[in-house]
Homo-oligomer: A and B are copies of this chain.
Amino acid sequence: MSHAPRPRIELWFEFASTYSYPAAMRVEQVAAEHRCEVVYRPFLLGPIFRAQGWDNSPFNIYPVKGRYMWRDLARICDELALPLQQPSQFPRNGLLPARVACAAQDESFLPAFVRSVYTANFANDQEIADPSVVRQCLEGLVPDPDAWLQRAEAPEVKARLRANSERAVALGIFGSPSFVVGDELFWGNDRMENALRWAAANSTRAAP
């Protein structure tokens, strides 16, 4: 007797994104509660924002919205008992850790690495563009952090991140976190449960 495969939900995320921090920290647990599996899809928001004429985070371009977001994020983190420290630099460049995540796309340590990078950025106010910070995020998860930093620079890994970012545009993604379930797109930490209910309700069960 074989087990039916669990319904899959894709988490599309950018390491600079604020609401993606609580999303990344809780997605594994919430997905498990819905008996779903998370597929991690790192991408870059910068090119998408630039295509809309923004050269910065909309939370910086529209300060009223930015002030609200930081307060809203603080309430969300309070409710989840997650530490939050408003980064002294926002947004930070998430290119390097996104490439590491692409290099590690089939590795079981990937979810823990993703949480570690978000924690560095939003709980510890660390510069996630700095290789030494990314190395620190890998320590304890892999025996050879430096090898992963090297793999992140491989041409096929760089191409994978570019392909992800182009695929994000094709899927209609315009913000992070986004969840993709089949043909359905859900945007925002606050849509995680909706996306998971959709995945659980619309999955085809394999025969035993």
Residues of chain A touching chain B, judged by Cβ–Cβ distance below 8 Å, are 52, 62, 64-65, 67-68, 71-72, 75, 172, 174, 184-188, 190-191, 194
Q: How far is the CB of A148 from chain B (nearest CB, A)?
A: 33
The closest CB in chain B to the CB of A178 belongs to: B68
Selected from B67, B174, B188, B191, the residue in CB contact (under 8 A) with A172 is B67
Give the residues in chain B near A62, CB-CB below 8 Å. 52, 174
Can you list 17 residue pairs at the A/B interface with Cβ under 8 Å? A62-B174, A64-B172, A64-B174, A65-B174, A68-B172, A68-B174, A68-B185, A68-B187, A71-B184, A71-B185, A72-B186, A72-B187, A72-B191, A75-B194, A188-B190, A190-B190, A190-B191
| Bound-complex Cα distance A75 to B191 (A) | 11
